[in-house]
Amino acid sequence: MTEKTLVRYADAGGGVALVTLDDPPANTYTHEMMRQLDDAILKARFDDDVHVIVLTGNGEKFFSAGANIGMLAKVTTGFKYCFCLHANETLNRLEHTPKLTIAALNGHTVGGGLEIAMAADIRIARAGKSMCGLPEVNLGVLPGTGGTQRLTRLVGKSRAIELMTTGGTFGFDRAQELGIVNDVWETETPDDFMGKVIEYARGFCPPRRASRAVGLIKRSVQTGAEIPFETALALERELQQQLFASDDAREGLNAYVEKRKPDFSGS
């Protein structure tokens, strides 16, 4: 029997891969969806023509409502543990892929949906009445797909504890105030929103941007933030040396000296 497609992968053009969580109406994830998301992340990682990954949800109402509670209610405790472990591994792969990742929050982004979004580098939300938050405490559990750790790193310990233990949800404007969402965009239609996000993503791709430098900035931040400062500086120097040897660094330096706009190739 053919496996149902729960994650769709598309070439959005201009160096952008579009990955869509596709199990409407709420795009809740099962182990099958997470495996497909894992495959999509690896596909984009190994594709030299992909410089930015955009992640979104199918439909107008939900980015994702998180883990499929019906599924979790039926499986064993051992399966639940492995489910969380694999989800952690998948989102770590997204976080450490040396390409910029953008979560386009097209609707409600709660529970595990927000946990997925927080593993992206940049989160752009569509203005409206959609809510986000980590309400898992209301189910008697904690945010177990990286939520307790990533939210803490975004908003600080005290605020993260407050948000998770009260279990409330809040709008994207509040999420932006807290530093969970980078920006909230007003658009007339969902298609307008996605079109704007894709065009924004292309701005980080050649020839406008040195995408290898973008990717290594990401790697330096994501890895460096978790290791001792002196070790992080050593990592930064090694990554900088890689960039100094790149075609784009030569192009960028020459363009500056020649007072012209650089034409980056991504190499």
**Residues acting as catalytic residues:** 115, 136
CA atoms of 255 and 59, how far apart (whole Å): 43
Residue with tokens 């931040």: 221
Residue with tokens 């701005």: 203
129 CB burial (10 A radius; 0-12, 13-18, 19+): exposed
CA atoms of 180 and 133, how far apart (whole Å): 10
Closest CA to 187 of 88, 60, 63: 60
What's the CA angle centered on 121, arms 193 and 256, to 5 degrees? 90
C-beta separation of 67 from 29 below 8 A:
yes
Integer-rounded Cα Rg, in Å, for the chain is 19
Classify residue 138 by its DSSP letter.
G
CA atoms of 124 and 83, how far apart (whole Å): 27
